[in-house]
Structure 1
Amino acid sequence: MTYFLRRLITFPLIMLGVSILVFVAIRLIPGDSITAMLGTESGLLTPDQRAALAQYFGIDQNWLVQYGRWIWGVLQGDFGLSITYGKPVLEVIAQRFPLTLELAVLSLAIALIIGMPAGIYAATRQDKLSDLIVRMVAMIGQSTPNFVIGLVVLYILSALFGISPTMGRYIGLREDPIGNLTQLGLPALILGFSFAASVARISRSSMLDVLNEDYVRTARAKGVKRGSVIWKHALRNALIPVVTLSGVEFGYLLGGAVIVEQIFALPGLGRVVLEAIGQRDYAMVQGSILFIALNFLVVNLLVDLLYVALDPRIRLETR
């Protein structure tokens, strides 16, 4: 409990640091929101018109004043108004995040279902042909970028089979379960395949380490069946590195799989951030990054707590 409370206390400090970094970073990009919104037509504005727009968007003051206004609004639950979508930032996040969350969960499930059995299977057959095949496939999966796999899959489906994946408007799970899985199944499979390669490699490495432990050799010497040694004795300890990797990857996915969302025209959170950066939509970028950072913190905390469930010997209070 002490560790849990200590972590919660650090959350505001980390969020404050993230807020300062993202506030400064987005303003270091050349141009401003007025020019990005109006394009070449911004040159037709009179000085008074530009000043009025700057005041309306809150960019007429120096950075310190702008940051103070923004962070005060955040503390009151007001993340500002998005100039790209014409809506409050929190409203846009609430509309777009369910897609990203579902895509992340599906991708993680696919990765674990494929990667863990493959890694364990390879570890139990070390240096055999099956082990070599698993390692080669995992290496290919890790070495191939998601966007390459996505583009190749889209080309094969459209050019060879005449199939076009569902793109555009997000189909909610409650609205149409079949349509929802049809829309997100392929992007989740592409993301899950790359992640499964990492899971397979870390599962294999971790399982090999555990299988060489004294208690595993003792269990084997006592005549415990091979399957029981692997699934009852070794697997639980071998899961800790997998949990760590899964937590980090899940945090990234919650931040939005930007490239995959762009390829499949999915209106997720990652695509929102990408469009907002292009439009110099300060409020949208700042609010989205803060939300993503909070997701990372929560996921990492849950991973640490899961360590204790997997291995009671770990005492978080002493860390």
Structure 2
Amino acid sequence: MNYLTRRLVTFPLVMLGVSVLVFISIRLVPGDAITAMLGTEAGLLTPAQRAALETYFGMDQSWFGQYWHWLGGALHGDLGISVTYGKPVLDVILRVFPLTLELALLSMIVALAIGLPAGIYAATHAEKPSDLIVRVVAMIGQSTPSFVVALLAIYALSVWFGVLPAMGTFTPLFEDPLKNLAQMILPALTLGFAFAAAVTRISRSAMLDILSDDYVRTARAKGVPQRKVIWHHALPNALIPVVTVSGVEFGYLLGGAVIVEQVFALPGLGRTVLDAILQRDYALVQGSVLFIALNFMIVNLLVDLAYAALDPRIRLGAQ
């Protein structure tokens, strides 16, 4: 059985474990969905009305019965009904996920466009003042909380210079692409800044190791131009750790950047899950976490397959 097959076989087991964990965790939170949904009006319900609502949402069954019923539906694509939205959970997820996917992709582009060149530049100017400046900025980027970066970005680009809108009613991508991009630049810069710092440090470290390898020194001794040594000999091998951290970070971004979506009032998956937890919306939390876990595993699988493309010496089928 090759590597890809083994990974695909483990997918259902991981998803089953995640489903059990999130099912138990959300029910350990004090309160219930009906009280969270109705607020103070929940106290006005008669016992018959509350019983009817519990039956409708499947809350009248034991935990095992609720889980078994939900798992059976999930296997057929039915993740239940959201008590917050009154719609199928899958419909809610598919409605908010495109925004989170767009934010993750834009943040990835920002991070790689900044971090990779900065890391290569720092490695090729090691121990020089410019290298020190890059490392200090990268350290600041990794240690600064995302909400602080978000507030600074809003103040600098929206309040001070007035070049970008800070917040407002979100415009979908296909409704008005230019307005959508203007609204997404600040959140993407906020998320991409911290990610760019990580890419910078990792790409710098990887390039330094590879630039000291024998085959790089041999290429230089043969008179190969410095630019070709970096881009054709060193960079392909230095990309492997960058791909690793990029894949992991992209998986987290697909899970929903809760703080950034909250600061910029973006109706994405992260904000939806947070609201669902506060509302005790069991079905929506369970379905969203399961969806996030599936995305994370798919991204990790694609990252592993990318190793083989970047380094032919890696044989996934033999692992």
- Give yes or no for TM over 0.5: yes
Query: 1-side partners of 2:290 and 2:124: how far apart?
Result: 43
In structure 2, the residue matched to 1:16 is: 16
In structure 2, the residue matched to 1:132 is: 132
Correspondences of 1:95-174 after superposition (within 5 Å): 95-157=95-157, 159-161=159-161, 165=165, 167=167, 169-174=169-174
Query: 1-side partners of 2:210 and 2:237: how far apart?
Result: 7
The offset of 1:177, in angstroms, is 1.3
In structure 2, the residue matched to 1:310 is: 310
In structure 2, the residue matched to 1:54 is: 54
The offset of 1:58, in angstroms, is 0.8
The offset of 1:165, in angstroms, is 2.4
Uncovered stretches (5+) of structure 2, i.e. residues with no partner: none
Query: 2-side partners of 1:219 and 1:62: how far apart?
Result: 69
Correspondences of 1:196-235 after superposition (within 5 Å): 196-235=196-235
TM-score by length of 1: 0.97
Which amino acid is 1:252 matched to?
Answer: Y
Query: 2-side partners of 1:164 and 1:205: how far apart?
Result: 35
In structure 1, the residue matched to 2:300 is: 300
Query: Is 2:166–2:186's contact at 8 Å kept on the other side of the alignment?
Result: no
Q: CA 1:168–1:287 in structure 2 vs 1: closer, same or farther (change >3 Å)?
A: farther
Give the CA RMSD over aligned residues.
1.4
The offset of 1:220, in angstroms, is 1.3
1:186 aligns with 2:186: yes
The offset of 1:146, in angstroms, is 0.7
Uncovered stretches (5+) of structure 1, i.e. residues with no partner: none
1:247 aligns with 2:247: yes
For residues 109-150 of structure 1, the C-alpha deviation after alignment (integer angstroms, 9 at most, x for no partner) is 010000000000000011000000000000000000111111
The offset of 1:166, in angstroms, is 5.7
The offset of 1:2, in angstroms, is 2.0
- Residue 300 of structure 2: SS of its match in structure 1? helix
The offset of 1:38, in angstroms, is 1.4
The offset of 1:75, in angstroms, is 0.8
Query: 1-side partners of 2:25 and 2:274: how far apart?
Result: 14
The offset of 1:47, in angstroms, is 2.2
Query: Is 1:202–1:241's contact at 8 Å kept on the other side of the alignment?
Result: yes
Which amino acid is 1:296 matched to?
Answer: F
Query: Is 2:164–2:182's contact at 8 Å kept on the other side of the alignment?
Result: no
TM-score by length of 2: 0.97
Query: 2-side partners of 1:21 and 1:289: how far apart?
Result: 10
Which amino acid is 2:183 matched to?
Answer: Q
The offset of 1:163, in angstroms, is 6.8
Query: Is 2:154–2:186's contact at 8 Å kept on the other side of the alignment?
Result: no
- Residue 86 of structure 2: SS of its match in structure 1? coil
Query: 2-side partners of 1:176 and 1:200: how far apart?
Result: 33
Query: 2-side partners of 1:161 and 1:126: how far apart?
Result: 35
The offset of 1:40, in angstroms, is 2.1
Identity %: 71
Query: Is 2:258–2:274's contact at 8 Å kept on the other side of the alignment?
Result: yes
Q: Which runs of 4+ in 1 moved over 3 A?
A: 155-164, 166-170
The offset of 1:168, in angstroms, is 5.0
The offset of 1:48, in angstroms, is 2.2
